[in-house]
Each structure stands twice: as structure tokens, then as C-alpha cells.
Amino acid sequence: MTRSGRIVLAGGLAALASALLIALAFYLIPAPPPVVALRDISYADLKGWQSDDHPAALRAFRRSCERSRTPPSMRAAPELLAAWQTACAAAKTLPDNDAAAARRFFESRFRPRLLTLGREDKGLLTGYYEPELAGSLTPAPGYDTPLYRLPDDLLTADLGAFAADLEGRRIIGRVAEGRFVPYLNRAEIAAGGLAGRGLEILWVKDPIAAFVLEIQGSGRVRLPDGSLLRIGYAGKNGRAYTAIGRTLVQEGAMTLEAVNMPAIRRWLEDHPEERQRVFNSNASYVFFRLLEEDGPIGSEGVVLTPERSLAVDPKYVPLGLPVWIESELPAAAGGGALDRLLVAQDTGGAITGALRGDVFWGPGERAEVIAGHMRQPARFVVLTPKGAP
């Protein structure tokens, strides 16, 4: 009995050890990341599809078609590119303001596919706009915040040229003492790292507005004589982007629920002695150029269309494709449904991930209010050209 009892005990211990090992494996082995997928749906599934302004979306889509360069997100997908170009050729033949013809075009040339991440089909939708700043072409009393053009010593290294497994990856830096090193960060630039090199395009009055301009990517500057200049994104210093709203939340200056652009601006205005330190928490810095076009230029290289251009993460949504969004306007802008067709034409440092979008609202107070308060859940439906895999 003693021996048989020992056998039973040993068997019980073995079972217990096996269960513990399984439990440890469950906790120690990381779960696989959720899969990004496109799920076929129908146009009848799109809330508000029939009532949208399809000619407005068509005009934005044509701008993508008229660009001279191949959309970068499609270069590695020849079948997608060919189907997209076929749709572009058909778009050129349509009348400008025929709502029925525009809707039939999208329905006949594209299939709607819901973007999902694992079991989740809702992501985050924000907004941006074209701000207006007071500025001067020369330094003057009250105009002491410079906007810089792209420095000539800023270099971009294509890592794919060195190793096949780094294809598509790039880093930005400069050469110092014979070595390729990271470019100056925001704190170094604010401390005068670019001064004396003739890189200033303009000097503006409001340092907060200048910082917001970097986030928006483009804007208009009103000069002392009343004339307007338009400036746009030229490049950045290659440093990682950090939202200063996150910094303020981490420091306990505001709650996550209270973070929006108007609240951040009020805090910066109330704490001028802390302003530059908070700015410097975002090491990323944007350089600008003067624009001659009639609107800001997106990453795709086309003039953005207010309320119809969308910034996306091009790793998941190719630039140039139409994207249907289903969301809500923020309460500060009156609320209500925001269901409409846009075109992926831009990117942004904070726009990362599959279920992520940023609507361009254009210039003016209304655009500023909507963009400043937008942080809405949304569904994203990518319209892929028929004939593409």
C-alpha cells in the first residue's frame, strides 16, 4: 500500500507540474498580434451612402489621378496600381456635378471592404486644418519665432540600399566628424542650433501658433501689409513624434478626457515659463516651404480638398484610394453624423496604425473648432478597385 500510495502521489505531482507548466506558458509566451484584414461588405451596409455628396468625393479622387508620380503605396502592387489607373481613366470621362453618375462610378469601379484589426472594427478619427498666423518676412519687434526651411545638411538614408530586409526603411540625420548621426532635436533647434545659417523663411508672432502649424503641416501667414502667403510641409528632422497632450497628462497637468487642442493652448498660454520645456518633449521638428498652389499639399503630392482628404497610415491604406468613414462630429461642433467618402491623400507623424484617420477640414474658425475637438470612434471602409487582388 505504501508503494502504491507513492505511485499515486508521484502521478499527482506529475499532473500538477504539467498543469503549472501549461499555465506558465500561457502567461510567458506572448499572444500573437491581432491581424489587420479587409472584410467584404456591400454598399447597402454603408450608413448614409445614398445621401453623400459623391461629386465632391469624385473631385478629390481626380486630384489623386492627375498627379504625375505613381502613388508610393502602390509601387509594390502592380495589379492594384493597374486597377486604380483604370478607375482613374473612367473618372476623367464623368460630368462634374452629376450625383447619380458619380455614385454609379464608385459602385461600379470599387468594392467596399471594412478595415478590421482582430475582432475590432472601430478606430480613432481626428481632424486637422489650415491655420492662419501673423508673420513677417523680416525679423521685427513682436515677430521673433522663426519658421525654417529644410536645411541642406539634412540627409535621408535609404536602408534598403544596404540590406534587402530593410527595404522601405529610411532614417534621417547629418554627417558630423565623418559619422552619420541623428539630426538636431527640437530643444537643440530652439536653443539656436540653426541660427545664422539663413534658413528662416518667416518670423511669426505667436510661438504656440507656430507649434500648432507643425502639427497641422501647412497654413497661411498674413503679413503686416495684409497680404497672405501659404506655407507647407517640406520635411522633418527624423526624430520620433510625441504628442504634448500626452506629456501634460503624464505630468498630471490635465486628464486624458480633457485633452484637446483648445485645452492644450489654454494651458500653454497660462504657463509661459513651462511652454518651451513642454514643446521640447516632442523632439520632432517640421521644416516648411513657400507654396504657390491654391491649397496645402498632402503627402501624396496633391492639393488637399477640405472635408474630403484623409490622412492615413500608408502601411495599411494605400494613398489614392477612396475611404468611407462612419463617425460623429464632436459636440463642440454641434454633433451629428459624419458619414462620407474621402480620399487617402496625406500622412502624419501621429497617424499610425490600421484603424486611424485624420480629416482635413480646411481653413477658418469652423475648421479649427472641429479639428481641435475631434477625437471620435470611427469605422473605416476602404474602396479597393475591382480587378485588384
The 10s digit of each residue's pLDDT in 88-144 is 999 999 999 999 999 999 999 999 999 999 999 999 999 999 999 999 999 999 999
The per-residue pLDDT for range 158-176, each reduced to its tens digit, is 888 888 888 878 899 999 9
pTM of the model: 0.79
How buried is residue 372: exposed, middle or buried, by Cβ count under 10 Å (0-12/13-18/19+)? Answer: buried
317 vs 314: CA distance, rounded Å: 5
Distance CA 210, CA 216 (A): 10
Of the pLDDT bands very low, low, confident and very high (cuts 50, 70, 90), residue 33 is confident
Q: Which residues, other chains included, contact 388 with Cβ-Cβ below 8 Å and sequence gap of 6+?
A: 77, 79, 80, 82, 83, 84
pLDDT-derived band at 22, boundaries 50, 70, 90: low
- At the topology level, CATH places domain 36-127+298-385 in Barwin-like endoglucanases (2.40.40)
Q: What is the Cα–Cα distance from 226 to 209, expressed in whole angstroms?
A: 18
Q: Averaged over 246-268, what is the pLDDT?
A: 93
More confident call, 230 vs 160: 230
Residue 25's pLDDT is 55
Best CA proximity match to 358, nearest among 349, 366, 240: 349
Rounded Cα distance, 237 and 283, in Å = 9
Cα three-residue angle 159-312-41, rounded to 5 degrees = 120
Q: Tell me the average pLDDT across 50-75.
A: 85
Which residues have CB under 8 Å from 310's CB, separation 6+? Answer: 323, 325, 342, 343, 344, 345, 346, 357, 358, 359, 360
CA–CA distance, 146 with 368 (Å, rounded to integer): 23
Mean pLDDT of 52-62: 97
pLDDT at 360: 97
SS3 state at 197: coil
Q: How far is CA 389 from CA 23, 159, 234, in A?
A: 41, 28, 34
What residue spans define the domains of the chain?
36-127+298-385
pLDDT tens string 333-344: 999 999 999 999
pLDDT at 383: 98
Check whether 9 has a pLDDT greater than 60.
no
